[in-house]
Amino acid sequence: MRKEARRALDWRAELPPSRRAMTPVGVRRAVQLAEGQPVSLDTVRRMWSYFQRHEVDKDAEGFRPGEDGYPSKGRQAWAGWGGDAGRAWSRRILREYDREWYLERLARRRETG
């Protein structure tokens, strides 16, 4: 995840402005991930949401090395949010949180029920 975020920031520094990608939020996220800064649960939710919306970017020309236009703007942004590793990580964190929340709620029902 850190490596992908760093890659996005490196691309941004090397590419001409017309080829650069990422919103200000995306750049902040890439810096945060590349530096290994803590990530809040709210940010994890935003990461997962980003990946859900942008999965289709992986089908576009320039997403993979060797394709025309590599790295596409979609590829740069995907990397900025942590890439495939960030997608898997955010999914794992949210599943664990949801499981803990459910078990906590179930325990409370048993205590009061």
> What region does 66 belong to: left with phi over 0, alpha with psi -120 to 50, or beta?
left
User: Is the pLDDT reported for residue 113 higher than 90?
Assistant: no
pLDDT tens digits, 37-56: 999 999 999 999 999 999 99
Whether the per-residue pLDDT at 30 is higher than 90: the answer is yes
In whole angstroms, give the CA distance from residue 58 to residue 50.
13
Dihedral over alpha carbons 29, 58, 62, 77 (to 10 degrees): -10
Question: What pLDDT sits at residue 107?
Answer: 80
How confident is residue 82, by pLDDT bands cut at 50, 70 and 90? very high
